[in-house]
Amino acid sequence: MPEYTLAEVQKHNDNKSTWIVIHNNVYDVTNFLNEHPGGEEVLLEQAGKDGSEAFEDVGHSNDAREMMVKYKIGEIVESERRPVKDRPVDWTASKNDDSSQSSFKTWIVPVSLGILATLLYRFIFQAQP
């Protein structure tokens, strides 16, 4: 994999050539500008820079991280690399398969409220002579 200096990356900071550093990896996202869900402006703000913090702040999905692979063109030279922080924990993903339990929780409240409403309706309107 080719290695680049931060100075080399800084030269690619417009919509004709857009390179971004994320976790010491260099990505050429020029062809992705029009496809980026957040708009090309977001990528152009980070063009020629280390966008690791901005990338993590947005909380990109695993799918987005997998898409990045095809845009990777190299890495930052060893002497200019920054420490990579651990990726934040994805609290939305469960390690255990609790799909049956979570689906139970999603329908139990509406069903309970429906039963309660039916009982109240019958009690109020059936109790009158």
Per-residue pLDDT tens digits for 90-128: 545 544 555 555 666 677 888 888 898 888 888 887 766
Residue 87 has pLDDT above 70, yes or no: no
- The span from the CA of 29 to the CA of 14, in Å, is 11
pLDDT band at 86 (very low <50, low <70, confident <90, very high): low
DSSP state, residue 84: P
- The span from the CA of 42 to the CA of 26, in Å, is 17
Residue 7 has pLDDT above 50, yes or no: yes
The pTM of the full predicted model, rounded to 2 decimals, is: 0.65
**Residues 67/27, Cβ–Cβ less than 8 Å:** no
Structure tokens at 15: 């919509």
Per-residue pLDDT tens digits for 27-77: 999 999 988 988 888 899 999 999 998 888 888 888 888 889 999 999 999
